[in-house]
Structure 1
Amino acid sequence: FDIGNESCVIAAAKRGGVDVLLNDESKRETPAVVSFGDKQRFLGAAGAAFAMSNPKSTISQIKRLIGKVYKEVVEELKLLPFVTSEGPRGGILIELEYLKTKRCFTPVEILGMLFKHLKQITEKNLESSVVDCVIGIPPYFTDLQRRMYLDAALIAGLNPLRLMHDGTAIALGYGMYKTDLSNSGPTYVMFVDIGHCDTQVTVAAFEQGNMTILAHSFDQNLGGRDFDDVIFNHFAAQFNEKHKIDIYSNARASVRLRASCEKVKKVLSANAEAPLSIECLIGDTDVRGLITREEFESLSSKLLERVIVPCRMALKDSRLRVDQLYTIELVGSGSRIPAITRILTSFLKKEPTRTLNASECVARGCALFCAMLSPTLKVRDYKIKESFPYSIVIPSPQGEFMVFPKGNPFPNQMMITYDGNTSHRFQLVYIKERDFPAGISHIAGCFEIGISEPSDAEDVKVQFRVKLNEHGIVVIDSATILEDNRHSGRPVHSYLRKLMMANSHTLNLPVSENLDVSTTNDELVKAEEKEKMLTAHDIKVEETKDQRNTLESFVYDTRSKLSGVYQSFATDLEKEVITNNLQETEDWLYEDSDDESEQDYSGRLEELKKLLEPIENKYNEANAIEKATKSLRSFIAKCHSHADSLPADKKEKVKNVCAETEQWLVNALSQKHPSAKTLLTDLNHAIELLERDCKSIIRSKSSYSRHEEPVGSDQRNQTIESDPKAQSVDMVNAGIKALQACIAKYYSHAGSLPADKKEKVNNVYTEAQQLLLNAFSHKELSPNTLANYINHVIEDVERKCKSIISSKPSFQRHEKPEDSDKRDQPMNSDERDQPMDTGQTHKSAASDQRDQPMDTDQTHKSADSDQKDQPMDTDQRDPQNDI
């Protein structure tokens, strides 16, 4: 995360590289703004939209308030549009009205809200929970400010792996991808970052696989906003003289003018002059003005001179000359002013380059370092040696004891020993230099090493270890008391005896930390709970708004449908009742529903849906009937098309079946049905019946043979028929044919039966099929035995089906007697669109019986059928009646 004074940038490391994440408005930069509305908070881009309409409850530039002492920055706070006051320990409190009550928030709490918003954006983009992160901070942040950033991240539910200096993050993003580095020695690069509120200069030395930060320098009060203030003050004075209006006393007018001045500055970066025009700035007063680039640079001359100061200090601290610099990289949102480039070129004797993304390079470097710390991502090994910009000392009456000198690499630690026999309280402080931030405590840490009772030992020393950890925060890692009792005949004090081990001369001591304006643990817990409550309230408000919008959309949508697609399905009375309810709901929405809950909106919505439900059902049923009708007509047309390629007798039968179905459809649509559901059921059944009948016709044998029987076929038939074994086989085949006809007859009835009866008929069919399969599996059975068994199965099927069927189907086509034994089972749904098989080749029963072995899966006629002279179909097998 790059938390800027004006905007924030989020970057995430993925397996393909580092990506900058987009916010809800699909923008790469998110305003660092938190606005408190009448009912909820608005963060980021949503909060920035209220900056002009609600300036006193819109908090911005929070980065400038972190860790500041109120009394030291009173004058600067007066320039902000919101109200501030002094906190309980000298810090800053932000006062505003929220949910109709006066609320106070600390800068840490506001920063925590901003972190929470950035966390939500990240999780939405990555579609996963996010906890670990690296946060960019200015190098001039003190111990207190760094601790407050960590506290704010914890409030948001984040776990910062590292607080990383902005300049170091920029250098990492530059050096990691730099492949043309010299092998003869370090490559020195200066990075000049001019942001919204500060200027940072970092000098780094690059080698293959590592980089070393040589120096950090900065001016915390020189940034893009200071150049905006130059233009703001110019026009404020001009309008005061011309229109007699005081811009400074009107918060809303100040916000509007500052926003316009920022646009003017951007225009001057590419143009020689820029106009300014604002309507109704104060009251009905319209203002207009013009400023040239020359005027702007003249007004900003003192600011431009300050740009080279941190550059000079960075060169001094790094002990480099200008000619040793390989290049100067210029980044930051405030670096686009042409005069800045010109003055840097004059001082450094080289024109700055812009190979890095000016607004995103810090966030990209932080994401890259986070990937290096992550165990789940593999990143090329790259070593970083960081530099701390301040000297840290322990003051004493004898003088200052240097602990960490300026430029000291960190993380780092140091062991300190002093003589003492009592508790000792001491401070670690920053040495205040010229560039030390104003309004910030110079105390790096305040610690007390506790000894409850003095020791009787002659020689007592206290040793403790001071660490400058990975975040740049000072901590006391451990403290130990060292005793020497060898020259003392006196016993060791009772308190020490309890704590010391036998023959040991060391004792661990308790260390307490005391920072006057730091967030306490209790305050941190309360802040976390407060943030959770505020977030839950925001979510509830958003859900209520969504439900209100849903109800509003339903009102407009229903009103449109009543005069459109629903018009023919609703009676005049129904239309009148629903229209009145819609109008009543609309009036309630715009007049009395501002304070209603989500349940109120959902209740109104359900009431309207119940009124509309009968009409919707009629409409949906009509659509379903129309769809089924189109499907039936489409299948009739397909059957007609396939029939043209069939033999004459089959073609005629298919045409007749199609004509009969078509006539039934005309009659069904013209008649009045008890309900649309009944008609829909009949249409679906008609489709199934047409499918079944057409397939049955196509698979049945033609009344003539396509090939002329060879000479002597009559004689062969007589020979086979006179053979007893052939006659037995014929009996079996005839029995199978009779069983098939029986099952087909009752299966056709089952299509119009209720679901339970239809299932029972299907079970009878399945049972009969299984019985025959079991019988044919016994090869030792004779054909006569099989024929008798088949007749027994036929009788059983007849008996069971007659007992099941008690009513006729709602739609049943009249079946001709001569076709009853040729009807096949209905086609599967996936066979409906397959081309019909019209090219089958059939043989006579005599030639089949002579040339092929008996096929128990063939379809045969009943022994007592009057159609026994027709040839058997040995080439087709019914997939659903596989007997």
Structure 2
Amino acid sequence: MSVVGIDFGNLNTVIAVARNRGVDVITNEVSNRATPSLVGFGPKSRYIGEAAKTQEISNLKNTVGSLKRLAGRQYGDPELEIEKQFIACELTDVQSQAGVRVSYLGHKEDFAFTQIIAMYLTKIKQIASAELKIPVSDVVISVPAWFTDPQRRALMDAAEFAGLKLLRLMNDTTATALGYGITKTDLPLAEEKPRRVAFVDIGHSNYTCSIVAFKKGELQVLSTAYDRHFGGRNFDKILVDHFATEFKERYKIDIHSNPKAYLRVATGVEKMKKVLSANAMAPLNIESVMNDVDVQTMLKREDFEELCKPLLDRATVPLEQALADAKLSIEDIDIVEVVGGCSRIPALKEKISTFFNKLLSFTLNQDEAVARGCTWACAILSPAFRVKDFSVHDIVPYPIEFTWEKSQEIPDEDTNLTVFPKGNAVPSTKILTFYRKENFDLEARYAEPESLPGKISPWIGKFSIKNVHPDPKDDFMICKLKARVNLHGVLNVESGYYVEEIEVEEEIKDEENNDAMDVDQQAAEARPRTRKVRKQVKKGDLPVVAVTSSLDQVTKDIYTEKENQMAMEDKLVADTEDRKNALEEYIYDLRNKTDDIWAPFATEPEKQRIKEMCDAAEEWLYGDGEDSTKAAYIQKYEELRSVAGIIAQRYFDHEEEKRQKNRANEEAEASKRAAEMRKNQESNPTPGVEDVDNMVD
């Protein structure tokens, strides 16, 4: 059974697995430890991960990025306009959800982002399966801490379409904290003061700070704050816009008018930014940006920091908010652990260090810490591995309230209640009590819509409670509902039941024994005393019908079948390409062998026939057979193989005969040497111990 952790990033995705009594980050098909988070569409198949990155510029309009940031978004959300700055594909409405319109298999087709994410997760699953050489099922996937219920459900649906068993959706910084704490042997004991660590994660598009308290075998997230539009891509955009102005003046080209030119410059400035993290100056050289114009320029680190000053000035805002939410001061923080690729920028590190007045800690791998933490979480949850107990207590990012319709028979009844306040522990279960004589509905929503990302609806779900009726006395039925925010951070009303109040007698126990009491009084008091109390006893279940942002089962089945069909088409295209390459390779190999090692074993007519067949096969391969079927390539391969097989067999027979002769000669030579050795031993016996002693004397 597999145990896999997936750091689903906006730019790249990192996959880690549990094996060899530890956690390893695995490589993809081109031996990279991070796989681009891209899905592309072509005339024959999809391009996912590295393949999508390779053809991104040439297939820009059909290559989709920002997968994570557009998950669970409704079409019309203003944040879609922000993402249009970073992706070139056409965004569209797919059943009120954000989707893309791309050219696939020669025609336009619309896909919801949940489907796009499922396609990408299918590729991640294939990479992990190829590395582990077993089917992959159990996974833990990371998400930003600010993800809402609809966004989390979208990822859960996507994992289901991809055939993955999602054990947990885990917040990025919580996964990092788990990876930090589970390997520590010096954490404080339960009765001691906890170790408070600030985890600062600055990635490609997101900046998060979590304050976490550690004790032995346990971590508690105290607070989490974030800036959803602060990351590496924002620094890149500042540089791209700067150079766009410069190139317009110097080279008279406008890269904003050409998406491919814009992407070339964005790729260049990303490399420049990395160079500036370790050097005082960095060049930017790009050939044929647009209109056959080559560009060259330089940038100093201080100029870069001046350009990015408005962004850098926001660097302390999440830190301040995290401390305020945790009700802690800077002095209460013991360690500041920094991860994320963007955290390598010197000016950013200096801002964070100055704020906390501490040296920053970089004990975790900045690019792989989240994936490793997810893998530890998966190992804890999976029965396949034994891991030491480590409790993880996360928090609710936004307050959740329930609303309901007022009962006419309870005129002063409140109709809303904040059940899970901000900072409430996750996972967490609450029991709600209602007095009703008929079926009723509950609605769950976020209590502070203004705090949600973009224009995501505050509505979470509607829960209808069935089979409610008056009790035998025509009084209210006492209804109990179990509301739970689960490991994924998703809210559900998991079950309902009704209770009846009954009167029972229970014994009264004295808390103290009064030594001043006389013996008779003590004897009287020694007799058990009882009192009547009313207790609630569960009498039966109440069905709960839930309507949430998760897709309905019919749509899930359709999307799952569609994903399986596209995966099979991709495999057929890949297999066809493999057979085509195998045929091409065999043609060249057959020619070389016929003129070289097979030449003595073939007659001139046979050689001529093979040459003519190879020429014909090559002409067909680069002509009519350029876009043929897998079966056609296999047929051509077998035709050549059948003709060459006779000559190949002669060669192999000759080689086998040579090997037999060589083996016989070697055996004869070995027998001869053994006979000579025995003869020498007989003529020169080896002295025994006594002989040696006599010789010494």
Corresponding residue for 1:412? Answer: 428
User: Structure 2: how far apart are the matches of 1:355 and 1:505?
Assistant: 52
For residue 839 of structure 1, report the CA deviation from its aligned partner.
Answer: 7.6
User: Structure 2: how far apart are the matches of 1:420 and 1:71?
Assistant: 40
Higher mean C-alpha deviation, range 557-566 or range 356-365: 557-566
Where structure 1 has 5 or more consecutive residues not aligned to the other structure, the ranges are 486-503, 646-834, 841-883
Match of 1:465 among 482, 493, 497: 482
User: Structure 2: how far apart are the matches of 1:634 and 1:142?
Assistant: 76
Match of 1:273 among 261, 281, 301: 281
Corresponding residue for 2:37? Answer: 32
Q: For 1:614, give the aligned amino acid.
A: I
Relative distance call for 1:122 and 1:640 in structure 2 (3 A) is closer
Match of 1:538 among 557, 567, 570: 570
User: Structure 1: how far apart are the matches of 2:128 and 2:59?
Assistant: 28
Calculate the aligned-residue CA RMSD, in Å. Answer: 2.7
Match of 2:17 among 12, 18, 22: 12
1:113 aligns with 2:130: no
8 Å CA contact retained: 2:463, 2:546: yes
1:172 aligns with 2:208: no
Where structure 2 has 5 or more consecutive residues not aligned to the other structure, the ranges are 1-5, 407-413, 503-536, 684-697
8 Å CA contact retained: 2:261, 2:290: yes
Corresponding residue for 1:756? Answer: none
For residue 159 of structure 1, report the CA deviation from its aligned partner.
Answer: 0.8
Q: For 1:472, give the aligned amino acid.
A: G
Matches for 1:844-855 after TM superposition, within 5 Å: none
Corresponding residue for 2:93? Answer: 86
Relative distance call for 1:331 and 1:635 in structure 2 (3 A) is closer
* 1:71 partner SS: coil
For residue 288 of structure 1, report the CA deviation from its aligned partner.
Answer: 2.5
1:97 aligns with 2:114: no
For residues 346-383 of structure 1, the C-alpha deviation after alignment (integer angstroms, 9 at most, x for no partner) is 22111321111111111111111211122232222222
For residue 162 of structure 1, report the CA deviation from its aligned partner.
Answer: 1.3
* 1:178 partner SS: coil
Q: For 2:385, give the aligned amino acid.
A: L
Match of 2:634 among 578, 595, 602: 602
User: Structure 2: how far apart are the matches of 1:213 and 1:383?
Assistant: 11
For residue 610 of structure 1, report the CA deviation from its aligned partner.
Answer: 2.0
For residue 193 of structure 1, report the CA deviation from its aligned partner.
Answer: 0.3
8 Å CA contact retained: 2:449, 2:458: no
* 2:140 partner SS: strand
User: Structure 2: how far apart are the matches of 1:400 and 1:836?
Assistant: 107
1:310 aligns with 2:318: yes
User: Structure 2: how far apart are the matches of 1:254 and 1:124?
Assistant: 36
8 Å CA contact retained: 2:173, 2:209: yes
User: Structure 1: how far apart are the matches of 2:673 and 2:178?
Assistant: 74
Match of 1:125 among 100, 118, 131: 131
Higher mean C-alpha deviation, range 275-284 or range 90-99: 275-284
Matches for 1:308-387 after TM superposition, within 5 Å: 308-387=316-395
User: Structure 2: how far apart are the matches of 1:173 and 1:540?
Assistant: 40
User: Structure 1: how far apart are the matches of 2:602 and 2:465?
Assistant: 86
User: Structure 2: how far apart are the matches of 1:140 and 1:380?
Assistant: 29
Q: For 1:473, give the aligned amino acid.
A: V
For residue 838 of structure 1, report the CA deviation from its aligned partner.
Answer: 11
User: Structure 2: how far apart are the matches of 1:393 and 1:235?
Assistant: 48
Match of 1:440 among 440, 450, 456: 456
1:475 aligns with 2:481: no
* 1:584 partner SS: helix
For residues 636-678 of structure 1, the C-alpha deviation after alignment (integer angstroms, 9 at most, x for no partner) is 6567667879xxxxxxxxxxxxxxxxxxxxxxxxxxxxxxxxx
Corresponding residue for 2:594? Answer: 562
Match of 1:514 among 543, 547, 559: 547
Corresponding residue for 2:534? Answer: none
* 1:141 partner SS: coil
* 2:313 partner SS: helix
* 2:367 partner SS: coil
For residues 495-532 of structure 1, the C-alpha deviation after alignment (integer angstroms, 9 at most, x for no partner) is xxxxxxxxx996644322223x5322111111111111
1:426 aligns with 2:442: yes
Q: For 1:414, give the aligned amino acid.
A: K
User: Structure 1: how far apart are the matches of 2:44 and 2:466?
Assistant: 50
| Bigger CA radius of gyration | 1
8 Å CA contact retained: 1:7, 1:31: yes
Corresponding residue for 1:231? Answer: 239
For residues 149-190 of structure 1, the C-alpha deviation after alignment (integer angstroms, 9 at most, x for no partner) is 111111111111111111111111111222333554111110
User: Structure 1: how far apart are the matches of 2:459 and 2:330?
Assistant: 35
For residue 448 of structure 1, report the CA deviation from its aligned partner.
Answer: 2.5
* 2:220 partner SS: strand
Corresponding residue for 1:68? Answer: 73
8 Å CA contact retained: 1:415, 1:465: yes
Higher mean C-alpha deviation, range 430-439 or range 541-550: 430-439
* 1:271 partner SS: coil
User: Structure 2: how far apart are the matches of 1:193 and 1:385?
Assistant: 19
For residue 50 of structure 1, report the CA deviation from its aligned partner.
Answer: 1.2
8 Å CA contact retained: 1:143, 1:445: no
Q: TM-score, normalized by length of structure 2?
A: 0.85
For residues 75-97 of structure 1, the C-alpha deviation after alignment (integer angstroms, 9 at most, x for no partner) is 22432211111122x21121111
Higher mean C-alpha deviation, range 504-513 or range 76-85: 504-513
Higher strand share goes to which structure? 2
User: Structure 1: how far apart are the matches of 2:284 and 2:563?
Assistant: 41
Q: TM-score, normalized by length of structure 1?
A: 0.68
1:290 aligns with 2:302: no
Match of 1:548 among 575, 580, 599: 580
For residue 295 of structure 1, report the CA deviation from its aligned partner.
Answer: 2.0
Higher mean C-alpha deviation, range 520-529 or range 192-201: 520-529
For residues 832-869 of structure 1, the C-alpha deviation after alignment (integer angstroms, 9 at most, x for no partner) is xxx899989xxxxxxxxxxxxxxxxxxxxxxxxxxxxx
Identity %: 36
Match of 2:46 among 38, 41, 45: 41
For residue 37 of structure 1, report the CA deviation from its aligned partner.
Answer: 2.3
For residue 458 of structure 1, report the CA deviation from its aligned partner.
Answer: 4.4
Higher mean C-alpha deviation, range 398-407 or range 161-170: 398-407
Higher helix share goes to which structure? 1
Q: For 1:31, give the aligned amino acid.
A: P
Q: For 1:418, give the aligned amino acid.
A: F
For residues 383-421 of structure 1, the C-alpha deviation after alignment (integer angstroms, 9 at most, x for no partner) is 222222211112469674111111111221222233444
Match of 1:216 among 209, 213, 224: 224
User: Structure 1: how far apart are the matches of 2:286 and 2:53?
Assistant: 19
* 1:594 partner SS: helix
8 Å CA contact retained: 1:461, 1:482: yes
Matches for 1:654-733 after TM superposition, within 5 Å: none
* 2:255 partner SS: coil
Relative distance call for 1:484 and 1:626 in structure 2 (3 A) is closer
8 Å CA contact retained: 1:77, 1:84: no
8 Å CA contact retained: 2:437, 2:475: no
User: Structure 2: how far apart are the matches of 1:406 and 1:642?
Assistant: 88
Relative distance call for 1:220 and 1:135 in structure 2 (3 A) is same
Q: For 2:577, give the aligned amino acid.
A: K
